[in-house]
Structure formats: structure tokens, C-alpha cells
Amino acid sequence: MKAQTALAGLVSVAALFPEASAEVVVIRNPSVEQAAAEALAVPLAALKRSAPEAPNGYVPTHVDCPSDRPTIREASSLSNNETEWLYVRRNNTVSAMKTLLGRMNITGLDTNSYIDNAAKNVSALPNIAIAGSGGGYRAMLNYAGAVAAFDNRTTNSTGAGQLGGLLQSATYLAGLSGGSWLVGSLFMNNFTSVESILSQDTSASKSGDTWQFEQTILDGPEESGLSILNTAEYLKDIYDTVQDKNSAGYETTITDYWGRALSYQLINASMGGPSYTFSSIADADNFLAGDTPMPILVSDGRARGQLVVNGNATIYEFNPWELGTFDPTTFAFAPIRYLGSNFSDGVVVQGDMQCVRGFDNAGYIMGTSSSLFNEAFLQVNGSTGLINEAITAILANIGQDNDDIANYPNPFFGYNNATSRIADTDQLTLVDGGEDGQNIPLHPLIQPERNVDVIFAIDSSADTTDVNGAPNWPNGTSLVATYERTFLGIANGTSFPAVPDQQTFVNLGLNNRPTFFGCNSSNTTSMTPLIVYLPNAPYAYHSNVSTFDLQYNDTERNYIIENGYDVVTMGNSTLDSEWPTCVGCAILSRSLERTNTQVPDVCNQCFQRYCWDGTVNSTANTYVPAYKLPQNDVLAFKSGGLKGAVPSLAFAVSAVTAVLMVM
């Protein structure tokens, strides 16, 4: 039995039972009597999971095309699907936004009345996006802590100094590489909460639980509940499913193996959920009802034989309806549900009455966004000969320089021939979304068509090195790359706030605390969002683990998540009691300008404190950050946030045990 971890008791009773339905109301911070009642009631209901919609597991399969045959559309606007969904979602954010802003003590502004009035004209309503960077498990777990802090379902997240409800107020939730694992995992598990996923550790058996990283992705699940008995069987299952796809006529790469392995860790379904598709999100009841933000994952285009991905690379997004890009180098979107179909000139080839379903496997898409990390499979040793031979064969076929691509039958073949880079190739090859230096998925969120007001950018990048101090901390490189790209021809009307060079980030401490960029909108276009930059720093834990660390025990996993929680809350506002107020001011900033509303004095004070003022200091210097919170908080985990539900949880577990003993 594994030792109980530092956060083993951090969750509410509802989180103990992922089968609970929305019809069972779970009380936050219950009394002893309420906790006992919850413990008896919650297991009795069942929760509708995301749908495994692929017709033949991992193998893309020909099916009859729908009557409205799939087509490629030009990227001159948002899709009809997104436009219609936005109407529902934006209205659904009003209540959460009022509650959130009402707690933030923005003196001088009646936020309830303001949001009520803004809701009458949706263009006045703040439009919020959240973006989590790449960086392997470090990025996934740091982002998980941030999302937990923003989620009003997290225990104590709506108390003093907290930001719970920001997630419910957001329109978009974007992820790249390791950040895409967090976004994909939440949505593939019915948009569950981070807290609920962690609560699975308290069950008697961890069979089938997600986010178990004590065994590396090369070894597979520890328990047998997923019908996997050992590493050899796990690797054989991955090998067999990928080979089945290959035998069906689809060219496979290491990303297929990588995506299948990720699924075992991120999707709580038997055998890693080979039938779970990314397009199934669009059919989920909670998404259709506008009860969740819209997920967006990001990847870069890279031609075969190309060794370097630069700022001119085409940036592709995956959303529940489409794969595509606003970049002029492709400027098109394809229906994600029918990826793999025989598209040419924007339509499924005439005479081909069948379309393909199942190519948009959720693990494969998460693997595509993180295809830098599939090189981990090159570490397999001689004892796993079957998959080792398969990888060797792949490398022999596509060349050593292309071992990290994801391969898609090109849906944009023959489309936009005059301007497209890929119109004449039958394969679309994609790689890790951070290979162009833009390690935070900001590109989809700065598109003018989306009208985003504020982006909460969680940066878990590994920019610093041990040559100049401590390694694996961010230094603003991603923001610099996104800013510089707006001056290239590929920018296509996007705008981004000015940011300083990386050394200035370090010297001014901008990479060590929250910073706002774009506060003075007169220096930008009307469509430039305010960036709330939230860089990873050692608040409660030195979370600067290597991007390529593949193994984490539960304690380390939970400490990184807790540190991410502290990053976005500034240690539950212990470092600045007015931090929630300043977050509220950032949310409202662009909206206040559009409505010609006077900015409250408290907001002006916040902007003076957190906005980059244009100062530059490029002097070479080292970066060795110290803990931001007292060591007793780091070691004892007493600083609020996720930990408050321990007594109630312990009682609830005891109550369940007592009931079972008398049954």
C-alpha cells in the first residue's frame, strides 16, 4: 500500500465518488451530520461520462458521409458552431462573473449592476481566456493548480483571498503540450475538477484512476484494473492498436505510440479509452449547455525534413469542431470529426461516398500537441523488443529528423492553392506547439474574431538554465516570441502588447510574480487583450523539475499542483491581500474602456502596482529564486487553498466504512 500523500484528504465527499450525478447536491464545508448524509447519498447516483464515439476503437474507419457532406471552410470568420455556442456560453458566464467580482472588493464600482448592464449588450461583457503553457508534467501539474484555484468547485476556492469562479467565468481554456494534457484530461473525463481527479487516491484501489505517475509512461499502469497486468502487456496493447491503424492504411509515427500511452494516464477508461474522440466534446451535455469553457489545443506545422521551427511556422488549433488555422499560410479549417476523409479542393472527393470517423482520437491529439515528448519512447530498452522494433522501423521509414511528427491525411489538399504552404502535399505533419518558441497557446486567443479581453497566461516554461542560475524556470521567452511574431507577414491582423527582453523579465522580477501587459490600450489596437502573466515560481515548492522527467510520486505531484495554486493566488493572497481586487480590475479593464466607465481608484492603484511600466534592464544577471512562502507552510501545507476539507473528508470516509460493515 502506498503511503498517504500530503494532499490525500484535500477533497469534498462528492469528489470521492466520480460516479455522482448533478442531481446530488454536495455541501461545501459540511457539518458532521451533513458529511455523513453526503457519504451515504453520493455513491447512489451515476455521472454521464464523455462519449467514446469512434466506431472501431483506435482504428479510423469508413462510414457513410452525413447528408451535409463535410467541407473545408475559409478562416475569415469563426465557425457557425462556435458562434452559436458562444451565445449560450457568454450568457452563462454572467452569474459566475457577478459572484466572482462581487467578492473582489472593487470599491467605487457596483459590479453587480455593471455586469447586469453589460449582459444586455454582450459586446460589453468581459471576455476571459485562460492559457497554460507546455513543459511536460511540470506544465500539466502547475496548470492543474491554477485551474483548481480558478474553479469554484474546489474546496475553499471562494473564500477570502481566493479566485474560485474565474474558470466558470471564462470563455476559452487553451493548452499546449503539457498544458494540453491538463485540458484534454479534464474534458475527456466529463470536465471534472482537478480536486475530483486527485480524490481518486483515497479509494481502496487505484485501479483505473487517472494521473498516476509513479510508474513512468514507459512502464504503464501499476494496477490491473485496466486489464493490464504488466509492462509487457501494456506495451503490447499500445503496439497492437497502432499496428491496427497502420494496417488500415494510415501512416503511423511515434506520436501514435505516445498518444496511446498518454491516454492511459489521462483518460479514466479501460485500456486508455481508444474510442474516445476529441470531437465528442461537442456532443457532451455540459458543453452543449454552455456550462464549460471551450477547449483549444495548439500544434505547429512542420514539413518533412525541416529541422527548425521558427516564428513563421503555421500554428494550428484543435477545438471541439475543427482543426485549422487563421494563418495565411493555410487559412482554413476542417471538421475535426471527419479527419482522415479523402478531402481535395475543400470537399470529400466526388464519387467517394464514405467519410472517415475516429481519426481524431483524443490521446493522439494530445500527443500531437506534445509531440516533442514522444522521443521518450526512444528510451525503451531491449527487454521490450516488440515496441522497440516498431519504433526502429518507423525511424527507418521517415528519417531520424522526423521522429517527432504527427501525421494527418491533409484535409487542406488542393485548398487555397495560391497561398497555402501545404496545398500540394497529401500529408499534414504537425509537431509540439512550443517548438516555435511560443510555449503559451496565445495565438488562438489573440485572433480578432474572438474578441478576447483578458488572457490569464500560466507559464511553466523551462527557459532558464543552470549556466546562469537555476534551471527550468520561465523568463518571458514565450511572450517575446508571440510579440515578435505580430511584426511578421504571417501575423494576419493579430496584435499583442509590448513586452521587454528576457533579461529584463529576470532583472525586474517580472518572471517571478504576476505582471500585466497591455494596460495602456492606447499603445495597442482595439482588439489587443490584456495579458495577466502568471509565471511559475517557488511559492510552496521548487517545481522546476525537468521537462523530460517522466515519473512522479503522489507527494511530488501534489506539491507541484499546490505550488501552481499558490502561483495564481499569490499564496492565497498572503503576499498581497488586494490581489483578488487586482484580478477583478484586470477582468474589467477592456470592458470599462468600451463602456466609457470611469476606472475605480483601486484599479488604478492595482495597475500601477502590476502593469509593466516600460522599464528595460538588459544587464546580464543570474536567476536563483527563493521560496516566497515561509518554510513551515511549504513543509506542513497549512496555508489554506486546497487543504481545508480534511476533517469533513475523514469523517465521511469513516461513515461510508461503517455503513458497509453493517450491510
pLDDT digits (tens, 9 = 90+) for 393-436: 555 554 454 556 899 999 999 999 999 999 999 999 999 999 99
Q: Which amino acid is at 147?
A: V
The pLDDT value recorded for residue 4 is 31
CA distance 490 to 441: 16
If one counts every other C-beta atom within 10 angstroms of the C-beta of residue 495, the result is 16
Name the pairing type of β-strands 530-535 and 454-459: parallel
DSSP assignment letter at 493:
T
SS3 category, 113: helix
Confidence band of 632 (pLDDT split at 50, 70, 90): low
pLDDT digits (tens, 9 = 90+) for 590-626: 999 999 999 999 999 999 999 999 999 999 999 999 9
Angle subtended at Cα 147 by Cα 144 and Cα 148, rounded to the nearest 5 degrees: 85
CA distance 222 to 480: 41
pLDDT digits (tens, 9 = 90+) for 324-340: 999 999 999 999 999 99
Which ranges of 189-227 would DSSP assign to H, the alpha helix?
194-199
Furthest-apart CA atoms within the chain: distance in Å = 75
C-alpha cell at 157: 476556492
pLDDT digits (tens, 9 = 90+) for 508-564: 999 999 999 999 887 777 679 999 999 999 998 999 999 988 899 999 999 999 999
DSSP assignment letter at 157:
T
The pLDDT value recorded for residue 573 is 96
Based on the number of CB atoms within 10 Å of its own CB, is 19 exposed (0-12), middle (13-18) or buried (19 or more)? exposed
- Kind and range of the H or E element at 202? none
As a whole number, the mean pLDDT across the chain is 84
The pLDDT value recorded for residue 260 is 94
Q: Is pTM, for the whole model, over 0.85?
A: yes
The pLDDT value recorded for residue 396 is 53
Q: Do 117 and 610 meet the contact criterion of CB atoms below 8 Å apart? A: no
- Ramachandran assignment for 619, one of left (phi > 0), alpha (psi -120 to 50 degrees), beta (any other): beta
HSE of 491, CA atoms in CB hemisphere, 13 A: 14
Confidence band of 386 (pLDDT split at 50, 70, 90): low
The answer on pLDDT for 53 being more than 70 is yes
CATH 3.40.1090.10 matches 48-629: yes
Residues constituting the chain: 663
pLDDT digits (tens, 9 = 90+) for 119-153: 998 899 999 999 999 999 999 999 999 999 999 99
Angle subtended at Cα 335 by Cα 331 and Cα 341, rounded to the nearest 5 degrees: 105
Q: Long-range contacts: 421-429, Cβ < 8 Å, 24+?
A: 421/301, 421/303, 421/314, 421/329, 421/330, 422/301, 422/314, 422/329, 422/330, 425/303, 427/251, 427/304, 428/301, 429/301, 429/302, 429/303, 429/304, 429/402, 429/405
Confidence band of 200 (pLDDT split at 50, 70, 90): confident
DSSP assignment letter at 510:
T
CA distance 455 to 530: 6
Which ranges of 71-110 would DSSP assign to H, the alpha helix?
80-102
Domain positions in the chain: 1-47+630-663, 48-629
